[in-house]
């Protein structure tokens, strides 16, 4: 994860002298690059490891198979935005609804999942944690693909409360956004 300098080539044509908006970031291009914007601050995200992608694929398959027909399960790169934030959680569950004019999710998702990487773990567990909480995301899960650990929080009275911390062969049965039982060790080959 790196902060970008104001004179970076990718910022050509982006407004100067004001915070960026999520729609400004949506217009950025960069071969293989992922960008996130939190409260107007643009960040380029590093690529993902094989272990990271293994967990994402297994989790997507599990959630997709069990989701109610009223919900969608999506994976990055897919932006969740408001005016000053555009983030790409590794996995997101949203209610089905009509598409927006710009094709990005608006409003709080039902679930966001971040699969931790050494370069993003602090960012995911602090900055994004607080941003998801403030945005009203009902459930937030963080998964460590190396330690095979899942920590889950649910929003209660505007603040996240830890509801699970399981590792290896331990299981946890989530109720939100829909019933699903997860065993961290089953999320890898």
Quick check: 2 pLDDT over 80?
no
Residue-range definition of the domain harbouring residue 11: 2-45
Clarify whether residues 95 and 38 are in a common domain.
Answer: no
Quick check: 184 pLDDT over 90?
yes
**What HEC string does the chain produce?**
CEECCCCCHHHCCCCCCCCCCHHHHHCCCCCCCEEEEECCEEEEECCCCHHHHHHHHHHHHHHHHHCCCCEEEEECCCCEEECCEEECCCEEEEECCCCCCCCCEECCCCEEEEECCCCCHHHHHHHHHHHHHHHCCCEEEEEECCCCEEEEEEEECCEEEEEEEEECCCCEEECCCCCEEECHHHHCC
How many structural domains does the chain have? 2
Instruction: Check: CB of residue 36 under 8 Å from CB of residue 125.
Output: no
b/e per residue 113-136 (b: at least 16 CB within 10 A): bbbbbeebeebbbebbbebbeebe
pLDDT tens-place string over residues 75-95 = 876 666 666 667 778 899 999
Clarify whether residues 54 and 41 are in a common domain.
Answer: no
Clarify whether residues 65 and 148 are in a common domain.
Answer: yes
Between the alpha carbon of residue 111 and those of residues 63, 67, 154, 174, 175, the distances in Å are 11, 12, 9, 11, 11
Clarify whether residues 136 and 57 are in a common domain.
Answer: yes
Clarify whether residues 170 and 87 are in a common domain.
Answer: yes
Q: Hunting for tokens 């699903």 — which residue is that?
A: 180
Statement: the pTM of the whole predicted model exceeds 0.85: no
Clarify whether residues 140 and 163 are in a common domain.
Answer: yes
Clarify whether residues 66 and 130 are in a common domain.
Answer: yes
Residue 24 phi, psi (nearest 5)? -60, -45
pLDDT tens-place string over residues 105-147 = 667 899 999 999 887 788 889 888 988 898 899 999 999 999 9
Clarify whether residues 176 and 105 are in a common domain.
Answer: yes
């Amino acid at each position: 994860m790196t902060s970008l300098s104001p004179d970076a080539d990718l910022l050509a044509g982006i407004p100067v002298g004001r915070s960026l908006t999520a729609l400004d970031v949506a217009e950025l291009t960069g071969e293989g690059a992922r960008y996130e914007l939190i409260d107007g601050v643009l960040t380029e995200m590093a690529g993902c490891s094989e272990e990271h992608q293994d967990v994402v694929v297994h989790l997507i398959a599990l959630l997709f198979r069990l989701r109610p027909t009223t919900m969608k399960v999506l994976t990055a790169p897919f932006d969740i935005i408001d005016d000053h934030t555009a983030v790409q959680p590794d996995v997101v569950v949203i209610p089905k609804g009509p598409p927006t004019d710009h094709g990005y999710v608006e409003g709080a998702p039902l679930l966001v999942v971040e699969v931790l990487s050494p370069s993003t773990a602090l960012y995911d567990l602090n900055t994004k944690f607080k941003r998801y909480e403030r945005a009203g995301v009902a459930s937030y899960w963080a998964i460590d693909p190396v330690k095979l650990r899942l920590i889950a929080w649910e929003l209660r009275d505007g603040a996240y409360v830890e509801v699970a911390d399981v590792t290896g062969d331990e299981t946890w049965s989530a109720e939100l956004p829909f019933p699903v039982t997860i065993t961290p060790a089953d999320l890898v080959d």
